[in-house]
């Protein structure tokens, strides 16, 4: 009986109970309908205000919202300012199906074209769990994590009221981000933006960009067990970047990582267990695993390209997995590479573009002798690598031999 009582208590916490609950607030007690037809914007805003405002009867505000299953139609941006710090929004089953499962919780944008569903301005410690965020095929971003600083020319009151304040401490778990231009937008009109974010079990689908960084100080973000499908670019960092990923799976995604324009306080990426599967959004073109340039250091471990879209006659023998521009320094280790490998372009006005493969297998029409092109001030190195020589013979895949390369260097021109 005790175990059943504990289980029931846990379920009630997960789905919300009533406005009198000492732990959670339920938006349905504030007028939310959740049928996908009614406009639930006002009810959700009232719930957020109640959760984050201290009343005379309280020693502390609730700070926790439980959204029962349903589709909550949002027509105006949900703005989270510092007054709403430490807010927790918990749904029911954010993963599964086009909208999640029948018992899931969805916030769906139905406002203006190019709008933003959730906008965090200088907000700290937001937690989202078990939610689907849906852009209605017209949202510019599903959630924007932004700061207050002197770049916010449109809203100088934010700096005056809160000072220069970064958004930080985000934790998203089992959140599904669908049908918008961008899933998570890090920075937009801010210079310094945020840090210290953990994102676990996220699913991104039908987006131009999964995670987009547009500020110089986007640092200390970790993505664990992340899936991308029908996405233009999974991670697009233009500025900023101190990023760790583990268990990234993509399918029907054009580019997994597009990383550039980092600076003195950024530009270090540790990318672990990345698997681009199948092809890009074009069924005849492979996914590019990494595009990188500039003052940047990248380590990829446990990368596996798979042989999808490699085999003739329908395979793509031309699109390389790695496209590196001037200044990029990339190391790939303990990995498997298939098909066309890399395109390296260097500049005489920068340090060499350089790519290192260590303890890596080249398999399925992947030959470093012919599959790496080098232009200008660039080079590559193979350490302790295995190369499989293969061909098609009467339409069948045939292995003709295997080689071990202890150390091969194609040095940049001096």
Task: Give a three-class secondary structure readout of 290-350.
Answer: EEECCCEEEEEECCECCCCCCCCCCCCCCCCCEEECCCEEEEEEEEEEECCCEEEECCCCC
Q: What is the pLDDT of residue 194?
A: 77
- Residue 20, pLDDT above cutoff 80: no
- Per-residue model confidence as pLDDT tens digits over 34-66: 999 999 999 999 999 999 887 666 666 778 999
- Per-residue model confidence as pLDDT tens digits over 193-208: 678 899 999 999 999 9
Is residue 320 within 8 Å of residue 355, measured between CB atoms? no
Share of the chain above pLDDT 70, in %: 88
- Per-residue model confidence as pLDDT tens digits over 75-122: 999 999 988 999 999 998 755 544 445 568 999 999 999 999 999 988
Q: Between the CA of residue 370 and those of 37, 353, 410, what are the distances in Å?
A: 57, 18, 13
**Which residue, 52, 197, 65, 175, is CA-closest to 125?**
197
Pairwise CA distance, residues 296 & 327, whole Å: 7
Is residue 246 within 8 Å of residue 275, measured between CB atoms? no
210 pLDDT tier (thresholds 50, 70, 90):
very high
Beta strand spans in 91-241 (E): 105-109, 116-121, 127-134, 141-146, 171-186, 195-200, 203-213, 219-238
Q: What is the pLDDT of residue 313?
A: 84
Share of the chain above pLDDT 90, in %: 70
Average pLDDT over residues 125-154: 89
């Amino acid at each position: 009986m005790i175990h059943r009582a504990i289980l029931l208590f846990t379920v009630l916490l997960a789905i919300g109970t009533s406005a009198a609950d000492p732990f959670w607030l339920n938006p349905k007690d504030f007028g939310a309908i959740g049928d996908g037809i009614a406009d639930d914007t006002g009810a959700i805003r009232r719930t957020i205000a109640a959760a984050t405002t201290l009343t005379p009867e309280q020693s502390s505000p609730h700070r926790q919202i439980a959204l029962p299953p349903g589709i909550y139609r949002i027509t105006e941006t949900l703005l989270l300012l510092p007054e709403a710090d430490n807010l927790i929004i918990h749904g029911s089953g954010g993963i599964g199906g086009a909208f999640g499962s029948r018992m899931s919780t969805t916030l769906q944008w139905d406002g203006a074209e190019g709008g933003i569903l959730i906008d965090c301005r200088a907000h700290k410690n937001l937690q989202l769990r078990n939610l689907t965020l849906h852009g209605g095929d017209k949202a510019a971003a599903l959630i924007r994590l932004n700061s207050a600083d002197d770049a916010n020319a449109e809203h100088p009151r934010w700096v005056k009221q809160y000072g220069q304040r970064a958004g930080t401490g985000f934790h998203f778990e089992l959140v599904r981000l669908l049908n918008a231009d961008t899933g998570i937008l890090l920075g937009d009109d801010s210079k310094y933006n945020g840090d210290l974010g953990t994102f676990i079990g996220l699913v991104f689908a039908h987006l131009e960009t999964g995670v987009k960084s547009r500020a110089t100080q986007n640092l200390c973000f970790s993505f664990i067990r992340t899936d991308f499908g029908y996405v233009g670019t999974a991670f697009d960092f233009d500025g900023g970047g101190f990023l760790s990923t583990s268990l990234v799976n993509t399918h029907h995604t054009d580019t997994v990582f597009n990383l550039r324009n980092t600076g003195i306080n950024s530009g270090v990426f540790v990318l672990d267990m990345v698997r681009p599967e199948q092809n890009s959004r074009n069924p005849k073109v492979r996914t590019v695993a990494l595009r990188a340039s500039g003052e940047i250091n990248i380590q990829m471990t446990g990368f596996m390209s798979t042989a999808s879209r490699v085999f003739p006659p329908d395979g793509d023998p031309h699109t390389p997995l790695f496209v590196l521009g001037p200044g990029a320094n990339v190391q790939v280790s303990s990995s498997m590479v298939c098909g066309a490998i890399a395109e390296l372009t260097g500049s005489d006005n920068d340090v060499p573009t350089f790519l290192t493969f260590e303890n890596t297998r080249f398999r399925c029409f992947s030959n470093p002798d012919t599959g790496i092109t080098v232009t200008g001030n660039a080079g590559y190195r193979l350490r302790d690598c295995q190369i499989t020589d293969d061909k098609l013979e009467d339409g069948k895949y045939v292995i003709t031999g295997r080689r071990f390369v202890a150390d091969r260097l194609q040095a940049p021109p001096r």
